[in-house]
Structure 1
Amino acid sequence: MMSLSSGKLATVIIRARKYEAGIPGSGKARELRGLIAAMNDDEKAELTAVMWIGRDTFEPEEFDEAVSMARTEATVPTEDYLLDNPVLADHLEEGANALGIDLESAEDEIFPHV
């Protein structure tokens, strides 16, 4: 079971999309960095693993191996590493889909219909 909730993953994806489409100096990078920096080490490793699965570095069934590698290979802060990926949101979304994580339900929890 993942430490990283689907809601938190969906929030990162939403903020990453805003960051990728944003205007320099808008504060979106700081917001996204802060969100990732506030995660615990397990969540950061799992977030990195989801991104790696989304970019086809690992297969979904290799998730545990990807998490282990993310823990041992981390040489820079996770937020710096992930924000260096210009298509982070796409890779996270593709990884989540490959792992069967229901992002639509998570987004509904974040943004309930009124």
Structure 2
Amino acid sequence: MPELSISAETVCFLIVKAREFDAKDQVSEPDPGSNAADDHMISVLEDHGDDPSVQEITQTIDALDVDEQVDLVTLAWLGRGDYTVADWAELRDEAAGAHNNRTASYLLGMPLLPDHLEEGLSMLGMSCEEFEMGRL
């Protein structure tokens, strides 16, 4: 099994935040003139540009060193189901070669990111179960 440079706890935090981001809906009222409470707080579920989940994900990924970012991308690619754990070294080399300073944007644009990260961890024998239980 490959040894990750990024902690499973950090990956799990990103999975939780990415699920919050994925749950957002398109903005239905771009410039609401009323009180959010009057609108039943619908704006909380909409994907506004100042989304705190996106900010937390971006800040967390930007704070990672290059090896941690490469491992995170490799986990997402592994979790897509196109590769096996035996392909880790080759896949990681590919992710390292593609690395740039836009890792957060790249990952946020990836459909099903939390599912891919979770599956990648699972393929390495890890789980977010304990992390998620501590957050409930």
Q: Please report the TM-score for the alignment, with normalisation by the length of structure 1.
A: 0.86
1:15 corresponds in structure 2 to 17
**Secondary structure of 1:56's match?**
helix
Which ranges of structure 2 fall in alignment gaps of 5 or more residues?
A: 25-45
1:98 corresponds in structure 2 to 123
Which ranges of structure 1 fall in alignment gaps of 5 or more residues?
A: none
Contact 1:33 1:79 in 2 (8 A): yes
Taking only the aligned residue pairs, the percentage that are identical comes to 30
Contact 1:45 1:67 in 2 (8 A): yes
**Aligned Cα root-mean-square deviation (Å):** 1.8
How far did 1:3 drift?
0.9
CA deviation map 1:8-32 (0-9, x unaligned): 1110100110111132123221221
1:63 corresponds in structure 2 to 88
CA deviation map 1:66-89 (0-9, x unaligned): 111111012451111111112100
Structure 1 position 24 matched with structure 2 position 28: no
Q: Please report the TM-score for the alignment, with normalisation by the length of structure 2.
A: 0.73
Structure 1 segments (4+ residues) deviating >4 Å: none
Which structure is higher in helix share? 1
Matched residues, number? 111
